[in-house]
Protein backbone atom coordinates (compact mmCIF):
# COMPACT_ATOMS: atom_id res chain seq x y z
CA UNK A 1 0.00 0.00 0.00
CA UNK A 2 1.30 3.46 -0.92
CA UNK A 3 0.59 6.64 0.98
CA UNK A 4 1.27 10.03 -0.63
CA UNK A 5 1.20 13.26 1.39
CA UNK A 6 0.26 16.43 -0.47
CA UNK A 7 0.83 18.79 2.45
CA UNK A 8 -1.74 20.12 4.95
CA UNK A 9 -4.18 17.23 5.64
CA UNK A 10 -4.32 15.84 2.11
CA UNK A 11 -3.36 12.24 1.41
CA UNK A 12 -3.70 9.62 -1.25
CA UNK A 13 -3.81 5.95 -0.30
CA UNK A 14 -3.23 3.45 -3.12
CA UNK A 15 -4.25 -0.08 -2.32
CA UNK A 16 -4.64 -2.72 -5.00
CA UNK A 17 -6.62 -1.14 -7.82
CA UNK A 18 -8.10 1.56 -5.60
CA UNK A 19 -7.04 5.17 -5.29
CA UNK A 20 -8.44 6.85 -2.19
CA UNK A 21 -8.03 10.57 -1.52
CA UNK A 22 -8.49 12.13 1.90
CA UNK A 23 -9.21 15.86 2.33
CA UNK A 24 -7.98 16.80 -1.16
CA UNK A 25 -7.12 20.47 -0.63
CA UNK A 26 -4.85 20.82 -3.67
CA UNK A 27 -5.44 23.72 -6.08
CA UNK A 28 -5.17 26.34 -3.32
CA UNK A 29 -2.67 24.39 -1.24
CA UNK A 30 0.69 26.18 -1.40
CA UNK A 31 2.49 22.91 -0.55
CA UNK A 32 0.93 20.89 -3.38
CA UNK A 33 2.86 20.21 -6.57
CA UNK A 34 0.27 21.55 -9.02
CA UNK A 35 1.48 19.65 -12.06
CA UNK A 36 0.41 16.35 -10.53
CA UNK A 37 -3.26 17.38 -10.23
CA UNK A 38 -4.36 15.81 -13.53
CA UNK A 39 -2.71 12.49 -12.67
CA UNK A 40 -5.13 11.94 -9.77
CA UNK A 41 -7.98 9.51 -10.48
CA UNK A 42 -9.63 8.77 -7.15
CA UNK A 43 -12.17 5.97 -6.83
CA UNK A 44 -13.16 7.31 -3.40
CA UNK A 45 -12.73 10.68 -1.72
CA UNK A 46 -13.03 10.94 2.06
CA UNK A 47 -13.79 14.38 3.49
CA UNK A 48 -13.58 15.11 7.22
CA UNK A 49 -15.47 18.43 7.24
CA UNK A 50 -16.71 21.30 5.11
CA UNK A 51 -13.89 23.81 5.60
CA UNK A 52 -12.26 24.80 2.34
CA UNK A 53 -8.84 23.47 3.31
CA UNK A 54 -10.35 19.95 3.54
CA UNK A 55 -13.26 19.86 1.08
CA UNK A 56 -10.77 21.44 -1.32
CA UNK A 57 -11.13 20.09 -4.86
CA UNK A 58 -13.44 17.23 -3.93
CA UNK A 59 -16.32 18.24 -6.19
CA UNK A 60 -14.19 18.84 -9.31
CA UNK A 61 -12.21 15.62 -8.82
CA UNK A 62 -15.30 13.55 -8.09
CA UNK A 63 -17.12 14.84 -11.18
CA UNK A 64 -14.12 14.22 -13.41
CA UNK A 65 -13.43 10.72 -12.11
CA UNK A 66 -16.91 9.54 -11.16
CA UNK A 67 -15.59 9.06 -7.61
CA UNK A 68 -17.72 8.23 -4.59
CA UNK A 69 -17.42 10.80 -1.81
CA UNK A 70 -17.56 9.49 1.77
CA UNK A 71 -18.43 12.17 4.34
CA UNK A 72 -20.65 12.89 7.36
CA UNK A 73 -24.32 13.03 6.34
CA UNK A 74 -24.86 16.80 6.18
CA UNK A 75 -21.63 17.38 4.27
CA UNK A 76 -22.43 14.45 1.95
CA UNK A 77 -25.85 16.02 1.29
CA UNK A 78 -24.22 19.32 0.33
CA UNK A 79 -21.72 17.56 -1.95
CA UNK A 80 -24.43 15.32 -3.40
CA UNK A 81 -26.52 18.38 -4.33
CA UNK A 82 -23.80 19.14 -6.90
CA UNK A 83 -24.31 15.98 -8.91
CA UNK A 84 -21.59 13.99 -7.21
CA UNK A 85 -22.01 10.40 -6.03
CA UNK A 86 -21.83 10.19 -2.25
CA UNK A 87 -21.92 7.66 0.53
CA UNK A 88 -23.15 9.42 3.67
CA UNK A 89 -22.04 8.12 7.07
CA UNK A 90 -21.96 9.45 10.61
CA UNK A 91 -19.95 9.43 13.81
CA UNK A 92 -19.54 5.95 15.28
CA UNK A 93 -20.75 4.21 12.13
CA UNK A 94 -18.59 1.93 10.01
CA UNK A 95 -19.04 0.49 6.52
CA UNK A 96 -17.18 -2.10 4.51
CA UNK A 97 -16.21 -0.62 1.13
CA UNK A 98 -14.50 -2.63 -1.62
CA UNK A 99 -11.13 -1.12 -0.60
CA UNK A 100 -11.56 -1.52 3.18
CA UNK A 101 -13.55 -0.57 6.23
CA UNK A 102 -14.20 3.05 7.16
CA UNK A 103 -15.38 4.22 10.57
CA UNK A 104 -16.14 7.81 11.50
CA UNK A 105 -14.78 9.15 14.77
CA UNK A 106 -15.51 12.35 16.62
CA UNK A 107 -13.43 15.45 16.00
CA UNK A 108 -13.67 18.53 18.17
CA UNK A 109 -13.91 21.29 15.59
CA UNK A 110 -16.45 23.08 13.35
CA UNK A 111 -17.81 22.25 9.94
CA UNK A 112 -19.33 24.73 7.51
CA UNK A 113 -18.77 25.53 3.89
CA UNK A 114 -18.06 29.20 3.32
CA UNK A 115 -18.81 30.42 -0.19
CA UNK A 116 -15.86 32.63 -1.22
CA UNK A 117 -17.98 34.67 -3.63
CA UNK A 118 -20.62 35.99 -1.23
CA UNK A 119 -19.30 34.78 2.18
CA UNK A 120 -22.55 32.87 2.73
CA UNK A 121 -22.23 29.98 5.17
CA UNK A 122 -23.65 26.52 4.61
CA UNK A 123 -23.75 24.35 7.71
CA UNK A 124 -22.26 20.93 6.98
CA UNK A 125 -22.87 19.09 10.26
CA UNK A 126 -20.28 17.63 12.59
CA UNK A 127 -16.65 17.24 11.57
CA UNK A 128 -15.12 13.78 11.82
CA UNK A 129 -11.96 11.75 11.78
CA UNK A 130 -11.54 8.49 9.86
CA UNK A 131 -10.43 5.08 11.01
CA UNK A 132 -9.48 3.02 7.98
CA UNK A 133 -8.85 -0.69 7.97
CA UNK A 134 -7.25 -1.52 4.63
CA UNK A 135 -5.96 -5.11 4.42
CA UNK A 136 -5.66 -5.14 8.22
CA UNK A 137 -3.50 -2.02 8.25
CA UNK A 138 -5.17 0.56 10.48
CA UNK A 139 -4.86 4.24 9.69
CA UNK A 140 -6.37 6.97 11.84
CA UNK A 141 -6.78 10.37 10.15
CA UNK A 142 -7.80 12.67 12.98
CA UNK A 143 -9.16 15.42 10.71
CA UNK A 144 -9.08 18.85 12.31
CA UNK A 145 -9.46 18.43 16.03
CA UNK A 146 -8.40 19.52 19.45
CA UNK A 147 -7.25 16.94 21.94
CA UNK A 148 -10.08 14.85 23.39
CA UNK A 149 -9.99 12.15 26.00
CA UNK A 150 -11.93 9.64 23.86
CA UNK A 151 -8.72 9.25 21.85
CA UNK A 152 -7.88 6.87 24.70
CA UNK A 153 -10.94 4.78 23.77
CA UNK A 154 -10.03 4.88 20.07
CA UNK A 155 -6.55 3.65 21.00
CA UNK A 156 -7.90 0.96 23.33
CA UNK A 157 -10.29 -0.42 20.70
CA UNK A 158 -7.98 -0.23 17.68
CA UNK A 159 -4.38 -1.28 17.12
CA UNK A 160 -3.48 1.78 15.10
CA UNK A 161 -0.59 1.28 12.69
CA UNK A 162 -0.43 4.86 11.47
CA UNK A 163 -1.91 8.02 13.00
CA UNK A 164 -2.14 11.25 11.01
CA UNK A 165 -2.28 13.97 13.65
CA UNK A 166 -2.50 17.76 13.40
CA UNK A 167 0.26 19.71 15.15
CA UNK A 168 -0.23 23.21 13.69
CA UNK A 169 -2.02 24.75 16.70
CA UNK A 170 -4.42 27.73 16.38
CA UNK A 171 -7.19 25.73 14.62
CA UNK A 172 -6.27 22.26 15.96
CA UNK A 173 -4.03 20.54 18.46
CA UNK A 174 -0.57 21.99 18.80
CA UNK A 175 2.54 19.95 19.53
CA UNK A 176 2.02 19.49 23.28
CA UNK A 177 -1.55 18.24 22.88
CA UNK A 178 -0.51 16.03 19.96
CA UNK A 179 2.07 14.41 22.25
CA UNK A 180 -0.74 13.62 24.67
CA UNK A 181 -2.85 12.31 21.76
CA UNK A 182 -0.05 9.89 20.89
CA UNK A 183 -0.08 8.65 24.49
CA UNK A 184 -3.86 8.04 24.26
CA UNK A 185 -3.87 6.49 20.78
CA UNK A 186 -0.66 4.47 21.08
CA UNK A 187 -0.09 4.19 17.32
CA UNK A 188 2.94 2.42 15.85
CA UNK A 189 3.78 5.35 13.57
CA UNK A 190 2.73 8.97 13.37
CA UNK A 191 2.74 11.48 10.52
CA UNK A 192 2.26 15.09 11.69
CA UNK A 193 -0.19 17.09 9.53
CA UNK A 194 -1.94 20.48 9.28
CA UNK A 195 1.16 22.61 9.84
CA UNK A 196 3.35 25.06 7.87
CA UNK A 197 0.72 25.53 5.16
CA UNK A 198 0.07 29.09 6.30
CA UNK A 199 1.78 31.40 8.81
CA UNK A 200 -1.02 30.89 11.35
CA UNK A 201 -0.17 27.19 11.70
CA UNK A 202 3.62 27.33 11.75
CA UNK A 203 4.97 24.41 13.74
CA UNK A 204 8.20 22.44 14.05
CA UNK A 205 7.69 18.71 13.38
CA UNK A 206 11.23 17.99 14.63
CA UNK A 207 10.27 19.34 18.04
CA UNK A 208 7.23 17.03 18.03
CA UNK A 209 9.46 14.11 17.02
CA UNK A 210 11.94 14.87 19.81
CA UNK A 211 9.20 14.89 22.45
CA UNK A 212 8.20 11.28 21.69
CA UNK A 213 11.55 9.53 21.15
CA UNK A 214 10.04 6.07 21.70
CA UNK A 215 7.69 6.48 18.74
CA UNK A 216 8.36 6.46 15.02
CA UNK A 217 7.42 9.90 13.74
CA UNK A 218 7.58 10.14 9.95
CA UNK A 219 8.00 13.73 8.83
CA UNK A 220 6.78 13.56 5.27
CA UNK A 221 7.81 16.19 2.77
CA UNK A 222 4.80 17.27 0.71
CA UNK A 223 4.39 15.35 -2.57
CA UNK A 224 6.35 12.32 -1.41
CA UNK A 225 5.23 8.75 -0.99
CA UNK A 226 5.85 5.98 1.50
CA UNK A 227 5.11 2.27 1.19
CA UNK A 228 3.51 0.51 4.17
CA UNK A 229 2.26 -3.00 4.85
CA UNK A 230 3.76 -4.65 1.74
Stated as kind and residue range, the H or E segment containing 20 is strand 18-22
Site string for Ni ion, 76-115 (x = CB under 5 A): ----------------------------------------
Q: At what angle do helices 73-80 and 58-65 cross, to 10 degrees?
A: 60
Terminal-to-terminal C-alpha distance of the chain: 6
Sole window of 45-53, 55-63, 187-195, 219-227 interacting with Ni ion (rule: CB under 5 A): 45-53
Interface with Mn ion (CB under 5 A), residue from 57, 74, 144, 161: 144
C-alpha–C-alpha distance, residues 163 and 182, integer Å: 8
Tell me the per-residue interface mask from 151 to 180 with Ni ion, x by CB under 5 A, - otherwise. ------------------------------
Whether the Cβ atoms of residue 181 and residue 165 lie closer than 8 Å to each other: yes
Q: Which of 22, 32, 50, 53 binds Mn ion (CB under 5 A)?
A: 53
Q: How far is the CB of 143 from Mn ion (least distance, A)?
A: 8
Q: Could you say whether residue 51 binds Ni ion (CB under 5 A)?
A: yes
* Interface region with Mn ion, contact rule CB under 5 A, candidates 11-19, 52-60, 73-81, 152-160: 52-60
Q: Does 144 engage in binding with Ni ion (CB under 5 A)?
A: yes
Give the distance, in angstroms, between the CA of residue 16 and the centroid of all CA atoms in the same chain: 20
At CA 107, angle to CA 137 and CA 56, rounded to 5?
Answer: 80
Site size toward Mn ion, by CB under 5 A: 2
Query: What is d(CA 195, CA 72) in angstroms, rounded to the nearest whole number?
Result: 24
What number of other Cβ atoms are within 10 A of residue 137's Cβ? Answer: 19
Binding site for Mn ion (CB under 5 A): 53, 144
Binding site for Ni ion (CB under 5 A): 51, 144
Amino acid sequence: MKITYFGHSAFMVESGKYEILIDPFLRNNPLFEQKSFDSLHPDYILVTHGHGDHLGDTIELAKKNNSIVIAPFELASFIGSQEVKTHPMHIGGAFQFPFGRVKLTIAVHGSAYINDEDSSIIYTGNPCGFLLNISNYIIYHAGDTGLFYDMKLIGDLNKIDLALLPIGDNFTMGIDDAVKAVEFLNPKKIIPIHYNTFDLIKSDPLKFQQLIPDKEVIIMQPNTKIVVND
